[in-house]
C-alpha cells in the first residue's frame, strides 16, 4: 500500500514538473535601466553619493551591505559586486524606499521604489 502511495506521489510530481508554465505565470523581463543625471537626484541622494565616494560616514548600520540583485534588475554580476546605501526620505521614520546601489566598477544606480526600478547615475 505504501509503495503504491509513493508511486502515485511520484507520478503527480513528475506531471507537474513536465507541465508547461502558463504564460501569465512566466516571469516578465526586468524593466530597462534608464539614466538620471546627478543634478536630477534628490539632494539627499547626492549627499549619500558623496559620502560613498569618501568612504563614509553613513547613517544606517546596513549601509554598505551586499545587494543581492535577486530580481536581476541590474546587470548580472557575481554576488558581492553590488552594495547598497540608504537615501533618507524627508518625513520618513524608517529607512524608507530610496537607495543607491554601487557596483565595484564605480557605477552607481538610484532607486526610489525599493529596488523595483533603477536609474543609472550619470555624472
Supply the residues annotated as catalytic. Answer: 84, 114
- Cell numbers that stand for 110 in this block: 538610484
Judge contact between 88 and 80, C-beta under 8 A.
no
Question: At 40, is the secondary structure helix, strand, or coil?
Answer: helix
Cα 36 to chain centroid, rounded = 17
In terms of phi and psi (left: phi > 0; alpha: psi -120 to 50; beta: otherwise), the region of 47 is alpha
Helical spans, DSSP H, in the chain? 2-18, 43-54
Strand partners for 109: 101, 120
Amino acid at each position: 500500500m505504501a509503495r503504491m502511495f509513493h508511486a502515485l506521489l511520484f507520478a503527480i510530481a513528475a506531471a507537474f514538473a513536465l507541465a508547461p508554465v502558463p504564460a501569465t505565470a512566466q516571469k516578465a523581463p526586468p524593466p530597462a535601466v534608464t539614466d538620471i543625471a546627478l543634478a536630477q537626484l534628490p539632494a539627499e541622494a547626492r549627499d549619500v553619493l558623496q559620502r560613498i565616494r569618501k568612504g563614509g560616514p553613513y547613517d544606517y548600520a546596513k549601509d554598505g551591505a551586499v545587494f543581492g540583485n535577486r530580481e536581476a534588475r541590474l546587470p548580472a554580476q557575481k554576488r558581492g559586486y553590488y552594495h547598497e546605501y540608504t537615501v533618507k526620505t524627508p518625513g520618513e521614520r524608517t529607512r524608507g524606499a530610496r537607495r543607491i546601489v554601487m557596483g565595484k566598477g564605480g557605477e552607481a544606480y538610484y532607486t526610489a521604489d525599493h529596488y523595483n526600478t533603477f536609474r543609472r547615475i550619470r555624472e
